[in-house]
Structure 1
Amino acid sequence: MTAQLNGILAAVVTPFTPEGEVDRAGIAAQVEHILGGGIHGLVPGGSTGEFTTLTLDERKAANRAYVEAAAGRAPVYAGTGALSTTETVELSRDAEAAGADGVMIVPPFYDAPGFEELIAHYGAVSEAIGIPIMYYNIPDATGVELTAEQLGELGRRTGVTCYKDTGGDNVKFNKVLVEQAEHIQALNGWDTLTFQSMALGATAGVWGAASILPRQCADLYEAVGVQGDLARGRELWKTLAPVCEFLESHTYAAAIKAGLRLVGVNPGSMRGPFRDLGEEHLDEFRTLLAAAGAEVTA
């Protein structure tokens, strides 16, 4: 393992125009909002980015637009996971050519591959590109559940340098931090476990709430992850935790897009079959965001 990430990387949305097309200007606005708030990196093209609803060309275009808008100011790890190795390689090569700093790859998620099949899959991508790979661990969606030891082995045998944990198993996460850090870097990707992961010693995380509340999320990382000030971190977490709980209680990307609209950064609507967050939930969300220090404009 060579690459090490530090800080909070925002899991970002894919903005759409009213006509339903990928909105490059909307992507630029997202980037300015997030990086302007002090967040340390971007992860487009993941679950928050509605990647399963995009065509191959749209996925390439959205990843490229995020890289272009970031303009080297922060690392961009582009989501490039697909159902086949061939398509995953194609997306990953395109992201590298666009200037992405790394790629995030979810395992094929229809027929769950076995461990040696995963090694072959990630190994093929490793041979095709020269940038780091983030393994996207989301077993509820993929049916793939690796042990801490297997995650370490994945890091040893392929170009995977880190993994985003959206599995919610804090015991396993700690086991990777303690026993496998030489082989793979553990990044929390479960919003409500953000404080715990940093307190355990994780040096980076991928966090959807950082797209809505970048300054507050960056402040939490500075307090806990950099200064080790748990008392200050607890005070910040008191208002961020309810936001995270809200996000995890709804269709995640829809809730993130709703939050962005509420803070004045329009991401457009969801793409079918998914729907925007219902109006009946917005007053509660406004209250939570305002309590966390957001300037709610909608």
Structure 2
Amino acid sequence: MFTGSLTALITPFKNNAVDEAALQGLVQWQLDEGTDGLVPCGTTGESPTLSADEQRRVIELTVEAAAGRAPVIAGAGSNDTSKGIALSRQAEAAGADGLLIVTPYYNKPNQEGLYRHFEAIHDAVSLPILIYNIPGRSVIDMSVKTMSALSRLERIVGVKDATGDMARARDQREACGEDFTLLSGDDSTAVEFAANGGDGAISVTSNVAPGLCAQIWDAAAAGELAEARSIDSGLAELHKALFLDPSPGPAKYALSLLGRSGVDVRLPITEPGEAAKDAVRAAMSRAGLLDG
């Protein structure tokens, strides 16, 4: 359902407001470059600092600019189940094609709590749902057993896996079945994730290099993993550089070099330091994204 190269979209800001023109221009460029799906209002979109009205508007703008050319999978997660339901219903009303729901951060629920959280959101909406499992940010890790149980619910269709554990990809495929979508949430290991049964990636790097990221997943889908690795090797430095300072600061800086977005971020994220900027510029040049 949701496969290939999907971009975890930044949210451009200007004067501390959503830069609507820049956002829609970014979406158009992504689709022109071959991006297979768009994921607004995730961590890369600085969702923790967006008001509910801003989140709704970002989704609406993305849906409008996409115009049916690619699915829009809206971030709508929360560590408050009731708020997660409200955000999910809002995303559905805004025209999203699917939902990305993060495991509840900070609260540290057990596996039963995780199951019931996702079940409640599932029962409240009619959109397909991707689980976002990212222990590094949420502290908790959804077990394969819990994911397998959730996969039996009609609208739980896949996972964005940011564990970096390649064995996990194989285990999830076996436990959840061939129709369950496995998406990497870690650019640095995405190609190896593909080799272990992955169907695509929700990528930060594809904000900056959408054409190359699309080529990677086109090659992977064709079974040409050597070609996918070859393309990915040219982006290896960029994968790292975009996380030298807290994301999405480096990605926004990279997009500013391409004239696609300003560098504005919202606290507590700050603009990247000079060392990170230098590394981003060097990585972009090596990947052929900048002249010189």
TM-score bracket, normalised by the shorter chain, equals: over 0.9
Give the SS at the match of 2:130.
strand
Structure 2 residue aligned with 1:116, among 112, 115, 127?
Answer: 112
- The 5 A counterparts of 1:155-174 are 155-157=151-153, 159-174=155-170
2:79 is aligned with 1:86: no
Q: Report the counterpart of residue 8 of structure 2 in structure 1.
A: 11
What is the rounded CA distance, in whole Å, between the counterparts of 1:296 and 1:283 in structure 2? 14
Unaligned runs of 5+ in 2: none
- The 5 A counterparts of 1:151-230 are 151-157=147-153, 159-182=155-178, 184-223=180-219, 225-230=220-225
**Bigger mean CA deviation after superposition, 183-192 or 30-39:** 183-192
Asked if structure 1 preserves the Cα contact closer than 8 Å seen for 2:3 and 2:181, the reply is no
- Alpha-carbon deviations, 1:43-69, whole Å to 9, x = none? 111110111111222112212221121
Superposition misfits of 4+ residues, deviation over 4 angstroms? none
TM-fit CA distance, 1:70: 1.0
Asked if structure 2 preserves the Cα contact closer than 8 Å seen for 1:126 and 1:159, the reply is yes
Q: Report the counterpart of residue 32 of structure 1 in structure 2.
A: 28
Asked if structure 2 preserves the Cα contact closer than 8 Å seen for 1:13 and 1:267, the reply is no
- Alpha-carbon deviations, 1:72-104, whole Å to 9, x = none? 110010000112122111111111111110011
Asked if structure 1 preserves the Cα contact closer than 8 Å seen for 2:245 and 2:273, the reply is no
- Alpha-carbon deviations, 1:237-276, whole Å to 9, x = none? 2211121122233212111111111222114411012111
**Bigger mean CA deviation after superposition, 251-260 or 277-286:** 277-286
What is the number of residues matched between the two proteins? 292
**Bigger mean CA deviation after superposition, 75-84 or 249-258:** 249-258
**Aligned amino acid, residue 20 of structure 1:** N
Unaligned runs of 5+ in 1: none
| Identical amino acids, percent of aligned pairs | 34
**Aligned amino acid, residue 126 of structure 1:** H
Q: Report the counterpart of residue 283 of structure 2 in structure 1.
A: 288
What is the rounded CA distance, in whole Å, between the counterparts of 1:152 and 1:135 in structure 2? 11
Q: Report the counterpart of residue 141 of structure 2 in structure 1.
A: 145
**Aligned amino acid, residue 51 of structure 1:** S
Asked if structure 1 preserves the Cα contact closer than 8 Å seen for 2:160 and 2:182, the reply is yes
- Alpha-carbon deviations, 1:9-61, whole Å to 9, x = none? 101101111x2011211110110121111110001111101111112221122
**Aligned amino acid, residue 16 of structure 1:** F
What is the rounded CA distance, in whole Å, between the counterparts of 1:296 and 1:252 in structure 2? 24
Q: Report the counterpart of residue 99 of structure 1 in structure 2.
A: 95
Would the alpha carbon gap of residues 144 and 13 (structure 1) be closer, same or farther in structure 2, given more than 3 Å must change?
same
2:289 is aligned with 1:277: no
TM-fit CA distance, 1:182: 4.3
2:60 is aligned with 1:64: yes
Would the alpha carbon gap of residues 93 and 255 (structure 1) be closer, same or farther in structure 2, given more than 3 Å must change?
same
TM-score, structure 1 length as denominator? 0.92
Q: Report the counterpart of residue 264 of structure 1 in structure 2.
A: 259
Asked if structure 2 preserves the Cα contact closer than 8 Å seen for 1:164 and 1:186, the reply is yes
What is the rounded CA distance, in whole Å, between the counterparts of 2:103 and 2:61 in structure 1? 24
**Bigger mean CA deviation after superposition, 37-46 or 173-182:** 173-182
What is the rounded CA distance, in whole Å, between the counterparts of 1:56 and 1:82 in structure 2? 12
Asked if structure 2 preserves the Cα contact closer than 8 Å seen for 1:152 and 1:184, the reply is no
**Aligned amino acid, residue 294 of structure 1:** L
What is the rounded CA distance, in whole Å, between the counterparts of 1:201 and 1:267 in structure 2? 37
Give the SS at the match of 1:135.
strand
**Aligned amino acid, residue 13 of structure 1:** I
**Bigger mean CA deviation after superposition, 65-74 or 228-237:** 228-237
**Bigger mean CA deviation after superposition, 210-219 or 53-62:** 53-62
2:239 is aligned with 1:244: yes
What is the rounded CA distance, in whole Å, between the counterparts of 1:9 and 1:103 in structure 2? 13
Asked if structure 2 preserves the Cα contact closer than 8 Å seen for 1:156 and 1:183, the reply is no
